[in-house]
Amino acid sequence: MDKAALEFLKTRRSIRAFKPDQIDEGTLDAILEAGVYAPTGMGAQSPVIAVVRDSETRGQLTRMNAKVLGKTPEEVDPYYGAPAILVAFAPPDGHTYIEDATSVLIYIQLAAHAAGLGAVWVHREREMFESEEGKGLLKKWGLPTDLAGIGAVALGHADCEAPAPAARKSGYVIKV
């Protein structure tokens, strides 16, 4: 394996503090392009990525996500101040819909790292988009209201140093 490629993979870290500056369109488009090339079961390409950058919708997602946590947006910003939130959805009728959308989110995080941006996986989108408010957003966005929210990536310019990696646990890999 190419050592630079392995080092690249080993240095990707979850970033939990972002500058308010928006990501330029070209960089965002490249990251999204990487996401749509993520592998999906049987090549179905079932996931849908919603890109949220306007402050009103971002605030709504923050409020919805915080509510799932039992908190208010004044207590917690689940998206860590990121100027962009990329939400992955998939129709729950496919056998691998969770894995398919997960692949998309992972590719997006790796592409963000390649672009020198920060990213972090955020959870609770399933509960958010099972709610009436979430279904209302899906309808407003022109998406089927039965899509399952799988997760999101908070994306932007890091406003912190990347954390050091945790020590790898023993027994992580067994060769049988």
Tens-digit pLDDT profile for residues 104-130: 999 999 999 999 999 999 999 999 999
The fold of the 3-156 domain, in CATH, is NADH Oxidase (3.40.109)
Kindly report the backbone phi and psi dihedral angles of residue 174, in degrees, each rounded to the nearest multiple of 5, phi listed first: -125, 140
Whole-prediction pTM? 0.96
Where do the structural domains in the chain lie, given as residue ranges? 3-156
What's 150's DSSP letter? Answer: E
pLDDT tens string 28-56 = 999 999 999 999 999 999 999 999 999 99
pLDDT at 94 exceeding the cut of 90: no
Q: Is the dihedral of CA 168, 169, 170, 175 positive or negative?
A: negative
pLDDT at 32: 98
Residue 20 and residue 134: Cα distance in Å, rounded? 25
